[in-house]
């Protein structure tokens, strides 16, 4: 009988000790979903950590969450049947099944990843790009890129994307799409207006310079 009571007391003490230990924090569903979606859906084009190994696809690591979320929403067709504001066959299909919660989680996930920046390689283009980035081209009515994207290319979270360390090939493709009107999800047609005034060389120069910027 005494042994039985002692055993019961020992079990009670052990149970209390275990209960007193703080439980390990469980991953939130949103965080878990974002990681899984990044691995299973996004990784092929953007890398599981948002660092793309394909130069024509953008790095997402370290990008402002608000900007990523806006782009994902722009890739989705409207509930009223209206076409997506931003057209891209691959991304339209990828964004279609995502819920608002999943898109927000993905945006937060990629924004917290560490960017492995691209590298500027053409010094002549970098020199010209630096001038355009910092001062623009008054004769052609091209404003300084730094006015919106910052001197170091960090951008502004609620308005303009970070461009520092982005792949030049991707930036060139987007500038060409702005210029042609193929991409038209810029507020007040700001980027379309600017890109329309730029030559191919100026676009390449700005893209090369941005690749070498570091925040």
Task: Give CA angle at 52 (32, 74), nearest 5°.
Answer: 70
**Half-sphere exposure for 202 (CA within 13 Å, toward CB):** 20
81: left (phi over 0), alpha (psi -120 to 50) or beta: left
Going by C-beta distance under 8 Å and a sequence separation of 6 or more, which residues neighbour residue 150?
156, 160
**Residue 45, annotated as binding a ligand:** yes
Which residue(s) pair with 142 in the sheet?
Answer: 137
Placement of tokens 């939130």 in the chain? 28
**Residue 11, annotated as binding a ligand:** no
- Give the Cα separation of 79 and 96 in Å (integer): 11
**Residue 94, annotated as binding a ligand:** no
CB 74 within 8 A of CB 86: yes
- Give the Cα separation of 75 and 80 in Å (integer): 15
Residue 38 token pair: 């990044």
Residues, the chain:
215
**Residue 167, annotated as binding a ligand:** no
Binding-site residue numbers for heme c are 42, 45-46, 91, 145, 148-149, 191
């Amino acid at each position: 009988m005494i042994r039985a009571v002692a055993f019961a007391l020992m079990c009670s003490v052990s149970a209390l000790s275990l209960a007193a230990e703080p439980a390990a924090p469980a991953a939130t569903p949103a965080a878990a979903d974002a990681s899984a979606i990044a691995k299973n859906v996004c990784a092929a084009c953007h890398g599981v950590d948002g660092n793309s190994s394909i130069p024509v696809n953008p790095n997402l690591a370290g990008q402002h969450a608000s900007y990523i979320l806006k782009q994902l929403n722009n890739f989705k067709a409207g509930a009223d049947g209206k076409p997506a504001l931003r057209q891209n066959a691959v991304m339209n299909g990828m964004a279609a099944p995502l819920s608002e919660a999943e898109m927000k989680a993905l945006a937060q996930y990629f924004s917290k990843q560490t960017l492995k920046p691209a590298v500027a390689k053409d010094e002549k283009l970098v020199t010209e790009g630096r001038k355009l980035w910092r001062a623009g081209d008054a004769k052609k009515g091209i404003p300084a890129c730094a006015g919106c994207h910052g001197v170091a290319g960090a951008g502004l979270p609620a308005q303009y994307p970070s461009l520092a360390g982005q792949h030049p090939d991707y930036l060139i493709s987007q500038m060409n799409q702005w210029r042609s009107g193929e991409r038209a999800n810029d507020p007040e047609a700001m980027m379309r207006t600017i890109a329309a005034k730029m030559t191919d060389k100026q676009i390449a120069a700005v893209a090369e310079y941005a690749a070498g910027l570091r925040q």
